[in-house]
Structure 1
Amino acid sequence: MKEPYEAYLDDYDILNVYMSKNFFNGSSRIFHLKDTQDHIIPLTIQSMSDLYNGYTHYRLSINGMINVGEEYTLYDEHCKRAVCHYSHIVKTNRFNDEFFYDGNDLGCLYAPAVTTFKLWSPVAYRIQLCLESDGKREIHEMERKDRGIYEVRVNKNISGYHYTFMVRTNGQWKETIDPYSSFCTQNGLASVVVDPKTLSIPQKIKLKPMKKATDAIIYEASIRDMTSQANIGVDHPKKFVGFTEENEKTRALNTGFSYLKSLGITHVQLLPVFDFGSVDEVYPNIFYNWGYDPVAHRCLEGYYSTNPKDALCRVEEFAQLVQNCHMAGIRVNLDLVFNHVYEKENYPLEKLVPDYYFLMNQQGEFSNGSYCGNDIDTQQRMSHKYFVDTCKRIVEWFDVDGFRFDLMGILDVDLVNEIEQECRKLKPDFMVYGEGWNMPSFLSEDRRASQLNQHKMEHVGHFNDYFREHIRGSNGELERKGYSNGAVEMIEAASHALCGCVDIGYYDNMEKTINYVECHDNHTLWDKNRVCCREEGREIREKRQVLANAMVLLAQGVPFLHAGQEFGRTKQNLGNSYNRSDNYNCIDYQRRDIHIKIVNDTKKLISIRKEHECFRLSTKEELENVSFNDIEGSALVYYTKKDDDSCGVIFNPTNRYFNYDLNADARILFDNGQCNSSNTNKILVAPYSVIVFKF
Structure 2
Amino acid sequence: MPYTLLPGKPYPLGANVTAKGTNFAIYSEHATAVQLCFFDADGNQTDCINLRERTAYVWHGLVRGIAAGQRYGYRIDGPWEPEQGHRFNPSKLLVDPYAKAISGQVDWKAPIFAHKVEDNNDLVRCDRDDAYGIPKSVVIDTNFNWGKDCAPQTPLSDSVIYEMHVKGFSMRNPAVPKKLRGTYAGVGHPASIDYLKKLGITAVELLPIHHFIDDGHLLDQGLSNYWGYNTLGFFSPMPRYCSCGDTGGQVNEFKQMVKNLHAAGIEVILDVVYNHTCEGNRNGPMLSFKGVCNSTYYRTVADQPRYYMDYTGTGNTLNVRHPQVLKMIMDSLRYWVTDMHVDGFRFDLASTLARELHAVSKLSSFFDTIHQDPTLADVKLIAEPWDVGEGGYQVGNFPVLWAEWNGKYRDTVRRFWKGDGGQLSDLAYRLTGSSDLYQFDGRKPYASINFITAHDGFTLCDLVSYDGKHNEANGEDNQDGANDNESWNMGAEGPTDDAGINTLRERQTRNFLTTLLLSQGVPMLSGGDEFGRSQRGNNNAYCQDNEISWYDWKLDEPRKRLLEFTSKLIQLRRDHPNLHRRRFFQDRVIRNTDGDNVVHDLSWYGADGNFLSNEAWNTEWNRSLAIILNGNTLQVTDDEGAPVVDDTFLLMVNAAAEGVEFTLPPTPFGGAWKHLIDTENIEDPFARECVGDKVILGGRSMMVLCAERSHTQIY
Q: TM-score under structure 2 normalisation? A: 0.73
User: 1:449 & 1:307 partners in 2: Cα distance?
Assistant: 41
Matches within 5 A, 1:154-553: 154-171=63-80, 172-173=89-90, 174-187=92-105, 189-196=135-142, 199-211=143-155, 213-229=156-172, 231-235=174-178, 236-246=180-190, 250=191, 256-278=192-214, 287=224, 289-311=226-248, 313-344=249-280, 345-361=285-301, 362-364=303-305, 365-412=307-354, 413=362, 414=364, 416-418=366-368, 420-421=370-371, 425-426=374-375, 429-440=378-389, 450-451=394-395, 453-454=397-398, 457-472=399-414, 482-503=415-436, 508=441, 509-530=444-465, 531=467, 532-535=488-491, 537-553=501-517
Question: Judging changes above 3 Å, is the alpha-carbon distance between structure 1 residues 258 and 452 closer, same or farther for their aligned structure 2 residues?
Answer: closer
| Higher-strand-fraction structure | 1
Q: Aligned partner of 2:367: which letter? A: N
Structure 1 residues 272 and 504 mapped into 2: Cα distance closer, same or farther (>3 Å)?
closer
Give the conservation status (yes or no) of the 8 Å contact 2:276–2:318. yes
How many angstroms does 1:221 deviate by?
0.6
Any idea what the Cα deviations from partners look like across 1:484-516, whole Å, max 9, x if unmatched? 232353122211211232136687431221111
The separation in 2 between residues aligned to 1:292 and 1:434, in whole angstroms, is 15
Report the Cα offset of residue 428 of structure 1: 5.5
Q: 1:594 to 1:164 in 2, by over 3 A?
A: same
How far residue 273 of structure 1 moved from its aligned partner, in angstroms, is 0.9
1:686 alignment partner AA? G
Cross-structure match for 2:494: none
- Give the Cα–Cα distance (whole angstroms) in 2 for the partners of residues 237 and 290 of structure 1: 17
Match of 2:39 among 132, 149, 173: 132
Check 1:157–1:126 CA distance in 2 against 1; reply closer, same or farther (3 A cut). Answer: closer
Structure 2 residue 663 is matched with structure 1 residue 660 = yes
Distance 2:214 2:148 in 1: 32
Report the residue type matching 1:511 in the other structure.
Y
Q: Deviations over 1:291-322 (max 9, x none)?
A: 111111111101101122321x1011111111
Task: Name the CA shift for 1:160/1:464 in 2 (closer, same or farther; >3 Å).
Answer: closer
**Structure 1 residue 605 and structure 2 residue 569: aligned?**
yes
> Pick from 625, 643, 647: which aligns with 1:636?
625
Deviation string 1:75-133 (CA, Å, 9 cap, x unpaired) is xxxxxxxxxxxxxxxxxxxxxxxxxxx97411223224233222111200100111234
TM-score (norm 1): 0.75
Is the CA contact 1:186–1:308 (under 8 Å) kept in the aligned structure 2?
no
One-letter amino acid matched to 1:639: I
Task: Give yes or no for contact 1:629–1:637 (8 Å, CA) kept in 2.
Answer: yes
Q: 1:110 is matched with which residue?
A: 17
String of CA shifts for 1:362-389, please: whole Å, max 9, x gaps: 2233122211110112111111111011
Aligned-partner residue type, residue 355 of structure 1: S
Larger radius of gyration: 1
- Which amino acid letter does the alignment assign opposite residue 297 of structure 1? F
What is the alpha-carbon distance in structure 1 between the residues aligned to residue 383 and residue 606 of structure 2?
A: 33
Contact 2:439–2:445 under 8 Å retained in 1: no
Q: Secondary structure at the match of 2:704?
A: strand
Q: Which amino acid aligns with 1:146?
A: T
SS at match of 2:659: coil
Q: Is the 8 A contact 1:459 1:511 kept in 2?
A: no
* Mean Cα deviation higher: 153-162 or 668-677: 668-677
Q: Is the 8 A contact 1:130 1:163 kept in 2?
A: yes
- The C-alpha deviation readout for 1:392-442, integer Å capped at 9, x for no partner, is 00011121111001111111154553575367x34754211121015316x
Which residue of structure 1 lines up, in the alignment, with residue 522 of structure 2?
A: 558
RMSD: 2.8
Letter paired with 1:220: E
Matched, 1:148 2:78: no
Change (3 A) 1:589 1:109: closer
1:647 alignment partner, SS class? strand
SS at match of 1:607: helix
Structure 2: how far apart are the matches of 1:178 and 1:438? 27
Distance change in 2, residues 1:677/1:277 (3 Å): closer
Q: Deviations over 1:218-275 (max 9, x none)?
A: 11011111112264543311111112223xxx5xxxxx44322211011111111110
Check the 8 A contact 1:111/1:157 in 2, yes or no: no
Flag the structure with more relative contact order, 1 or 2, with Cα contacts below 8 A and sequence separation at least 6: 2
Aligned to 1:650: 652
1:292 alignment partner, SS class = coil
Q: The residue matched to 2:606 in structure 1 has which SS?
A: strand
Contact kept in structure 1, 2:164 and 2:204, CA below 8 Å: yes
Among 655, 670, 680, the residue aligned to 2:691: 680
Give ranges in structure 1 of 5+ residues lacking alignment. 1-101, 251-255, 473-481
8 Å Cα contact 1:120-1:148 kept in structure 2: yes
**8 Å CA contact 1:388, 1:415 repeated in 2:** no
What SS class does the counterpart of residue 451 from structure 1 fall into? coil
Residues 38-84 of structure 1 show CA distances to partners (whole Å, capped at 9, x for unaligned) of xxxxxxxxxxxxxxxxxxxxxxxxxxxxxxxxxxxxxxxxxxxxxxx
Count of residue correspondences: 563
